[in-house]
Amino acid sequence: MVDNQVQLVKVTVDGIEVEVEPGTTILQAARKIGPEVAPPAMCYYEPLKGSGGKCRACLVRVAAGSAKDPRPMPKLVASCITPVQDGMVVENFSNPAVLEARKGIVEFLLINHPLDCPVCDQAGECDLQNFAFEHGAVQTRYEEERRTFEKTDIGPFIQLHMTRCILCYRCVYTADQITEKRVHGVLNRGDASEIGTYIEKAIDNDFSGNVIDVCPVGALTDKTYRFKNRVWFSKPVDAHRDCPTCSGKVSLWYRGSEVIRVTARKNEWNEVKEFICNTCRFDKKDTADWVIEGPTKISRASVISANKYPKNLTVSSFGARLAAAEYKPINDERDTSQLGIQQLPPERFAKTLPSAKE
């Protein structure tokens, strides 16, 4: 009898063991355990084939390569493209060298990224903002001129800010895999490389709007939503409609009773669940077009849930993490020699308080 069952492999991430299928990457195995050990990812995007391995945000240390060869890997590896092996031991948040390396990665990503978060429409749901907040250093050391670009117009729906781009290639993969004809890609090389539409052709594919959701930063944003509102003042609601081209499952972003933006629904890793078409995204901005399912679940830690207090309120883990990191047992030893003078003998209480007698 041949065992058709796939032999599962055991991986340990930050001391937590998990069994996964062979061929899974370290990042996916860590995500299977949960967000407390999952490394951050800026370029890796699960729905897009071939993405990952560019931003180095997900670097981890492999303390033991496999059960057969338990030697550690010599350098930190990108967890999103490294497949697991049986008996692999991975250190992520538990290794200070990894955290230190990530601090450097944040610094590199921010070298050419302008600090225009107050202006940027992505602020509040920006992967780079979250990444820098959780892993970055507080202050910048960069004093040189930042890379700037001439503004290019890529159509009436999508706004391209090349200065904010971190070259994660996610939008290129989206255009490659979701849309049939790709009209934009990365031009030039190295420091000079930039995302551009070939001969500045407008992206008129029916699914081109998905590059907005895919972009981890504010390089590609919704032109119809431009400066309409800050993300954390709008209220996301899950809704769907019968759409002939896509699944029609979206999130509507409300300001008062007005739909100011339509996006695809995202999972807990901030990845699009189902890509939506441009008609849904840009043309159907009326409540009457949609069947509303209920409020979108937003993590309490997100700024989007600031000043909103839903019934199922969950407290952000930040406070608990900070307390755990800075925990010190309370030193309860104190000079009690003075207490004897202040304290009265117990029989004294019996005399002054008649109620104490009974």
Partner 1 sequence: MRAQTDQQKTEDSKHLTMLTNRSKQVSNKEMTLAERMYLPAILGGLAITIRHFFMKKATIQYPEVKRYLGPVFRGHHVLKRDEQGRERCTACGLCAVACPAEAISMVAAERKKGEETLYREEKYAAVYEINMLRCIFCGLCEEACPKQAVYLRHDRMVPVVTSRDGVIYGKDKLVEKLDDRYVRNNPDVKATPTEPTLSRSVA
Name the residues that contact partner 1, by CB under 8 A: 115-119, 123, 139-140, 226-230, 232-233, 303, 306-307, 344, 348, 351-352
Nearer to partner 1, 49 or 348 (CB): 348
What is residue 224's three-state secondary structure? Answer: helix
Question: Cβ 119 to partner 1, closest distance in Å?
Answer: 5
174 contacts 158 by C-beta, under 8 angstroms:
no
Nearer to partner 1, 80 or 120 (CB): 120
Nearer of residues 228 and 235 to partner 1, judged by Cβ: 228
Query: Please, which residue, 27 or 220, has the CB nearer to partner 1?
Result: 220
Nearest distance from C-beta of residue 140 to partner 1, angstroms? 5
Give residues with Cβ within 8 angstroms of 177, minimum separation 6: 48, 49
Give whichever of 116 and 206 is closer to partner 1, judged by the CB atom: 116
Cβ contact 215:166 at 8 Å: no
Q: How many C-beta atoms surround the C-beta of residue 57 within 10 A?
A: 27
Question: Which of residues 118 and 329 has its CB atom nearest to partner 1 in the complex?
Answer: 118
Contacts of 150 (CB under 8 A, 6+ apart): none
In whole angstroms, how close is the CB of 136 to partner 1 at the nearest point? Answer: 11
Own/partner contacts of 197-204, CB < 8 Å, gap of 24 or more, are 197/152, 197/154, 200/152, 200/153, 200/154, 202/154, 202/155, 202/156, 203/154, 203/155, 203/158, 203/175, 204/155
What is the smallest separation between the CB atom of 115 and partner 1, expressed in angstroms?
5
Check: CB of residue 174 under 8 Å from CB of residue 214. yes
CB of 316 to partner 1, least distance (A): 15
Phi first, then psi, for residue 213 (nearest 5°) are -70, -35
Q: How far is the CB of 118 from partner 1 (least distance, A)?
A: 3
Residue number with CB closer to partner 1 (188 or 307): 307
Q: Please give the DSSP secondary-structure letter assigned to residue 228.
A: T
Least Cβ distance, residue 232 to partner 1 (angstroms) = 6
Give the ranges where the chain is alpha helix by DSSP (H).
26-33, 96-109, 127-135, 170-177, 210-214, 278, 318-325, 339-342, 346-352, 354-357
